[in-house]
Chain A
């Protein structure tokens, strides 16, 4: 007799919707510490304060407008690199911003960002943060 396909293998048994009900119901509580800094508006003192908090961070997210000065990314990135903290930069590009202006910002953030996202709408920032929980 041919065995029921569902019993042919471990993978077949375990990949069903019925079995999915028995997967762990609670995700791990990572208590991930995310520090967000808006490079467009952050003052020197705010950046200095953030540098003091990098030790406790799991992720530092830098927010900057395309064409804006992102020189502070180097200070932040250096501190994160020394402490092995993930750096993530979101560049918001308004439709009128030129390629050259975006290039300038990219040149400042790329050496210090392990992930760069270029978006046309600032609303994505909240969605990205919520995705990290």
Chain B
């Protein structure tokens, strides 16, 4: 459990909140590059960390992310005309470039200098790995561009999707590091989903349904190890990475691609669940890409606004017959919506003062405590939080078999670091 004030601290990420200020220390995913597919394409509304923004791509291919509303009369620039290197408000013609600078004010006298004094708040927007990243903190503290491996490999080796999740980001993120739910909620899909089935590691999962967990601090966050019995007295370890504030990597299976998530607040009651799959040494196959695009693995089928087709308005397409027959454990299809349906059912912001945690929740407990410590150090002493440094981002999850007395953090040290061109440690 958490005290109510601690719960508020972790779940509020608006611009004037302690965690909101710390979240703005990081580059975060803002849009998929496909959302701004060509120069002068339609602008896109974006809401991040409770700020309403507008994204656009100008005539020269530059990306802009700025205050959604025209400085003149507060019109949404989503209605704007994206033309000749700027976004023009259709109401009175004020026009802004990608930095938010007003460059034309046609209802003022010709050659008036007033436009130079009008600048909307704006943030950098940079493409990397098919994702448009933004940094919403102070200019003088801007860190180098992110180097998470999924965004650094060649385009043919990586695939990223996003879906809207209708609850606070912490609820979603905590699901990403809650290893013990997998044996229940997702048990029906491990052997049927094309992006998971066939791995030798699946047999260890099957053979030992009561994994033992170890949580170990890392430089950027946590390692969360799930231990099962393997042959000859050895242990099969599945090691999840959590990098602060909201990056999680799921251990790989066999020769399948590696996958994970970013959990990014839209506001305090909604978040984006970003899901990526990549392989460090090979292109994704056509079959893998087709499966990901059709919502298999950790991805979901979504509409044009990235809202899942199975959502709370249709009871997530609950299939009681599939639940009863054991085809799915909860009656909901697919890993992503199995998680999202339950996390949304907790309410927009769950009251953690009322929960009853047990030992297997230690990953969640430690993540909360590390975040609370980082917020305090950042707020009181200006300490840069874990996860900003590039070394903290160059990590991998791993699935390995180790002797029984080995600390996995040390025995699998190299497997937990992203080495370009080196295959992941996977069983």
**Is there contact, CB below 8 Å, between B362 and A115?**
yes
8 Å CB interface, B320-371 against A: 341, 344-345, 347-349, 351, 353-362, 365-366, 368-369
| Residues on the A chain within 8 Å of B148, using CB | none
Task: Look across to chain A and name the residue whose beta carbon is closest to the beta carbon of B409.
Answer: A118
Which of A15, A103, A120 is within 8 Å of B166, CB to CB? A15
Query: Does B314 lie within 8 Å of A8, measured CB to CB?
Result: yes
Number of interface residues of B (CB under 8 A): 44
With known contacts A103-B407, A124-B366, A127-B365, A23–B359 Cβ distance under 8 A:
no
As a 0/1 sequence over residues 6 to 42 of chain A, the CB contacts with chain B under 8 angstroms (1 = contact) are: 0011111011110110011111101000000000000
Q: Closest chain B residue to A6 by CB distance?
A: B313
**Set of chain A residues within 8 Å of B361, measured between Cβ atoms:** 131
Interface status of B164 (Cβ within 8 A of chain A): no
| Nearest neighbor of A115 in chain B, beta-carbon distance | B359
Name A124's contact: one of B316, B349, B369 (CB within 8 Å): B369
- Interfacial chain A residues near B360, Cβ < 8 Å: 114-115
The closest CB in chain A to the CB of B210 belongs to A114
Question: Are A116 and B213 also in contact (CB < 8 A) when A124-B369, A132-B358 are?
Answer: yes
Q: Which residues of B contact A113 (CB under 8 A)?
A: 212
Nearest CB in chain B: distance from A25 CB, A: 8
Residue from A11, A19, A103 in contact with B406 in the complex, judged by beta carbons closer than 8 Å: A103
A9 to B214, CA, bound (A): 40
Question: Chain B residues with Cβ under 8 A from A110's Cβ?
Answer: 212, 227, 404-405
> Is A94 interfacial (CB-CB < 8 Å)?
no
Q: Is A128 an interface residue (CB 8 A)?
A: yes
A49 CB within 8 Å of chain B = no
Task: Give bound CA distance, A16 to B314, whole Å.
Answer: 15
B214–A23 CB distance below 8 A: no
Shortest C-beta distance, A54 to chain B (Å), equals 15
Query: How many Å from the CB of B283 to the closest CB on chain A?
Result: 37
Chain A neighbourhood of B167, CB < 8 A: 15
The reply on B391 being an interface residue by CB < 8 A is no
Instruction: Tell yes or no: A72 within 8 A of B by CB.
Output: no
B410 touches A99 (CB 8 A): yes
Q: Does A117 make an interface contact (CB < 8 A)? A: yes
Cross-interface CB contact of A131 among B1, B214, B344, B410, cutoff 8 Å = B1
Given A116-B213, A119-B217, A16 and B348 contact (CB-CB distance below 8 Å): yes
- B354 touching A131 by the CB < 8 A rule? no
Q: Which residues of B contact A17 (CB under 8 A)?
A: 269, 347-349
Cβ of A57 under 8 Å from chain B: no
From B214, B215, B347, B366, give the contact of A19 (CB < 8 A): B347
Interface residues of B in 203-240 (CB under 8 A from A): 212-217, 227
The answer to whether residues A27 and B345 also contact, given A110-B404, A124-B369, A131-B365 and a CB cut-off of 8 A, is no
CB neighbours (8 Å) of A130 from chain B are 1
Task: Name A's B-contacting residues (CB within 8 A).
Answer: 5, 8-12, 14-17, 19-20, 23-28, 30, 59, 86, 88, 99, 102-104, 106-107, 110, 113-120, 124, 127-128, 130-133
List 16 extra interface pairs beyond A15-B166, A23-B351, A115-B214, CB under 8 A.
Answer: A10-B315, A12-B312, A12-B313, A15-B344, A20-B347, A27-B355, A28-B356, A88-B359, A103-B407, A106-B407, A118-B217, A119-B366, A120-B217, A127-B365, A127-B369, A128-B365
**A-B contact list, 9 entries, CB within 8 Å:** A9-B312, A10-B315, A12-B313, A23-B347, A27-B355, A107-B404, A115-B362, A124-B366, A132-B358
Task: For the complex of A and B, list the 8 residue pairs with the smallest distance between their C-beta atoms, beginning with the closest.
Answer: A107-B405, A20-B347, A115-B359, A11-B312, A27-B354, A8-B313, A99-B410, A118-B216
